[in-house]
Structure 1
């Protein structure tokens, strides 16, 4: 057990509970299709309190962050999972942390935690440790929708560093997927990369229009 993790968990619970808004919590729970209970905190509130809390304790290492995140994932209120997503920083992690991220992605899974983990934490970790791209290759074909979505989205903020071969191959491999979250991820990833290379995205969509879902095509070409 980490002393720092104990400190953080002991502080975050009363901090978040003090700002709880039961009326807002009901609306949040309904919006998220009754997937999770809520305290009624807004995301800006979570972000502000997360920064305040983490500045008040010693710097957290990978082992501390792992324990904090896993303990937050065990808590019922969704805001604690948001807190974990906020405090994970790829520059404080190592390649082995991807195992923990897989656990977080495949546990209490929904887009609200998977997307920040995919686009920021996993994405930054793979960019810093390129050997992890082989794991993204595995995830891109995984039966777990959230792992596949993470693989498609992990390069979202890479810009000119994007490995287009991987991006396009992941999209092609999942083009016929029936799940909304995969179809949406394909469109989102392509649309975002179109900011960097619109001609490449246009050419890809034109070549694969028959295989891609209408949702993926619509999202990918929204700003072309």
Structure 2
């Protein structure tokens, strides 16, 4: 692909960048390109230049860029063109999870990219889930907890509850939030099972509130 970075930097907005950086706790530099414009610029670029032929290598390059929009562009590209990548792509996705990690990129990768990849190659789940949920990196653990968000009736309930159990004692906001989010989502499928889990495990108050948000306490 030609230099998409130049296109985006030519469309930077210092006026928009400030509030975007503040929203992300000033952890990243922004060009000031909001999601709608980002997607429009990317669509126009692809229309003119075509889709990337070296997608996995290209998203790694984008994740190395300083400005946060480029990590979002990488996820946009994976969402659009990465649905049937080779099984070894999981190694790239794992690398992206731990690169410039924060909820915005991790959730995009976990809830869509990795979620779809595990559906395509379910035999990968045991190995990677075990490593992520038993490791010390909170973003890999969050990914393990969240990757089944869209699985609905196909959710491996035993795995979901086991993943949550292993991090119940965590003080990390993003882990507590992930546990509650995952349980809340599964409650749409089996609210009774979520009620039982919540009432028999010492969830953090945040996790409990999130889990019961739409089904109420019992």
Q: TM-score range by the shorter chain?
A: over 0.9
Q: Within 2, Cα distance between the matches of 1:113 and 1:149?
A: 12
State which drifts further: 82-91 or 149-158: 82-91
37-46 vs 195-204, which moves further: 195-204
Which residue of 2 is the match for residue 141 of structure 1?
A: 134
Q: Which stretch shifts more, 47-56 or 161-170?
A: 47-56
Distance 2:15 2:52 in 1: 34
Distance 1:147 1:223 in 2: 27
Q: How does 1:30-179 map to 2 (within 5 A)?
A: 30-61=22-53, 64-89=54-79, 90-134=82-126, 135-179=128-172
RMSD (Å), alpha carbons? 1.4
Contact kept? 1:105, 1:147, Cα under 8 Å: yes
Contact 1:145 1:182 in 2 (8 A): yes
Check 1:77–1:196 CA distance in 2 against 1; reply closer, same or farther (3 A cut). same
What CA deviation, in whole Å up to 9, does each residue of 1:175-196 have, x standing for no partner? 1111111010000111111112
Residues 198-209 of structure 1 mapped to structure 2, 5 A cutoff: 198-208=191-201
Runs of 4+ residues deviating >3 angstroms? 55-61
Cα distance in 2 for residues equivalent to 1:36 and 1:59: 27
- 8 Å contact from structure 2 (residues 30, 69) kept in 1: yes
Q: TM-score, normalised by structure 1?
A: 0.90
- Give how far 1:83 is off: 0.1
CA drift of 1:20 comes to 1.4
Count of aligned residue pairs for this structure pair? 212
| Maintained 8 Å contact 1:141/1:174 | no
Inter-CA distance 167–14: structure 2 relative to 1 (3 Å threshold) = same
Measured against aligned partners, the alpha-carbon deviations of 1:12-52 in whole angstroms (never above 9, x if no partner) come to 22321232110110111111111110000111222222233
- Contact map agreement 2:52 2:58 (CA 8 A) in 1: no
Question: Following the alignment from structure 2 to structure 1, what is the Cα–Cα distance between the partners of residues 85 and 44?
Answer: 21
Deviates more, 1:167-176 or 1:52-61: 52-61
The equivalences for 1:209-220 within 5 A come to 211-220=202-211
Could you tell me how far 1:58 is from its partner in structure 2?
A: 4.1
Query: What are the ranges of 5 or more consecutive residues in structure 1 without an aligned counterpart?
Result: none
